[in-house]
Structure 1
């Protein structure tokens, strides 16, 4: 099932089962507990990020070829950083290049995992039982804040407003039985920048859920960004960064395409 979150013509927010780009069947109930799909077909006035995250937990350096392009050693454990929830962005909404970070704003296509029930000390074998669904993410990154000089502030460089587009839909696990067997790619203005498979992950999705739940409760609505493959802008020669007027597309097999234009912060 493809679940979307959207506004109707009156601005009321709903969840629905995707029908087409203009309509959805209304869901009744709580998507984190019990819900049902109704026969009520509604017009989608504005598509929203499929969830409002409780937390956004991010994994760095989790693709083998990405580690190679950056010259980094493979990590022994998942590398965790956190992206603030104010960074949430919707499909079709602009990514702002902040005035405080005017250059070196980068793209990162990522598979996002949404947790459906409290998870603590979960084993790898049972980890996927805690997944509500999967969606596309763009872990937009201001590299000057993340990497340069004495700052090296990962959370700040990753948490500017609009820096976490999610969407276009949430695909439930029955339609993605193996999240580590999906093509994942990024295009900018139609040019392919990243093209890989989630099979290249160093730590697969069950391992990430199990690791992150050790001694820590993953709340319903927690979003896990699982890392990005090779082809990021800062690792290219010459580097390629986002600029006003660009359109970024993140595409993941069996999920869809997440599109966002880029603009200067107003």
Structure 2
């Protein structure tokens, strides 16, 4: 099953897409797919209701031709990112693979729907794409004892585009990356959330991105330096993770920062996809103060 949120920004309604591609309304079970829903084991409630045939079919299609598809998790308290978590990406960025976890934060309001526009900041010439496997925290986690324990705190997975402005991130960063990560629309998420119980821990998933139909990134999660359970374990040593928090686990090689491809410009079309998690696409537009 695939958990979704459908409707205009700020007024999305929860839904679930079954394995046979039937869309069901989740409003009788929950007002939204958020931290509170995940904390009360709402994913298991949905699975049980789906199996029992207790859900009502929604009329609107889930392929982008009907209701807008929003981010699959509402109002995350935090968007936590792991940098340089693929060795080839570290190399193309001119860095050695890190010996310590590289962590940075994105403002939660960067999260938008998977088909919403990406807005380039005024004056930016170095806006970049980054397809990433994102995990969603299902339970409050602090000082976990092992990666094996950490695996039980992951509610599920989705597709993330960790859009980055490289001049802000690297040249005028002041020693941290968040300046280049927090512009509006800089974290398209979705189209859906697949529970860990159905996907496992995300091993062997193929990640791909393209710009204007031309391939950019093509790798698998087997190339992760830190696997997803290790990421959750290590993050829990530095911060309390809350239900509904988003963790971007890193991007593979093939971004514009490598020098092999041009940066994004208004009019471009970016697509990011991961096996079993769907494909998202964004038109790139010029941002403004309006």
| Shorter-chain TM-score above 0.5 | yes
Which residue of the partner structure matches residue 83 of structure 2?
A: 60
Gaps of at least 5 residues in structure 1 are none
Which residue of the partner structure matches residue 253 of structure 2?
A: 230
Give the alignment partner of residue 42 of structure 1, picking from 44, 58, 63: 58
Deviation at 1:54, TM superposition (A): 1.1
Give the alignment partner of residue 32 of structure 1, picking from 22, 30, 39: 39
1:129 equivalent to 2:129? Answer: no
Deviation at 1:189, TM superposition (A): 1.2
1:77 equivalent to 2:100? Answer: yes
Higher strand share: 1
1:212 equivalent to 2:235? Answer: yes
Give the alignment partner of residue 192 of structure 1, picking from 215, 228, 232: 215
Deviation at 1:66, TM superposition (A): 0.9
Range with greater deviation from structure 2 (149-158 or 112-121): 149-158
Contact 1:180 1:201 in 2 (8 A): no
Contact 2:133 2:248 in 1 (8 A): yes
State the Cα RMSD in Å.
1.9
1:181 equivalent to 2:215? Answer: no
Contact 2:133 2:249 in 1 (8 A): yes
In structure 2, do the counterparts of structure 1 residues 43 and 78 end up closer, same or farther at CA, with 3 Å as the change threshold?
A: farther
Give the alignment partner of residue 166 of structure 2, picking from 140, 143, 147: 143
Q: Normalising by structure 2, what TM-score?
A: 0.85
Range with greater deviation from structure 2 (67-76 or 150-159): 150-159
Gaps of at least 5 residues in structure 2 are 31-36, 61-66
User: For 1:129, what is the secondary structure of its paired residue?
Assistant: helix
Give the distance between the partners of 1:255 and 1:68, measured in 2 at CA: 27
Give the alignment partner of residue 265 of structure 2, picking from 231, 239, 243: 243
Q: Normalising by structure 1, what TM-score?
A: 0.92
Contact 2:134 2:249 in 1 (8 A): yes
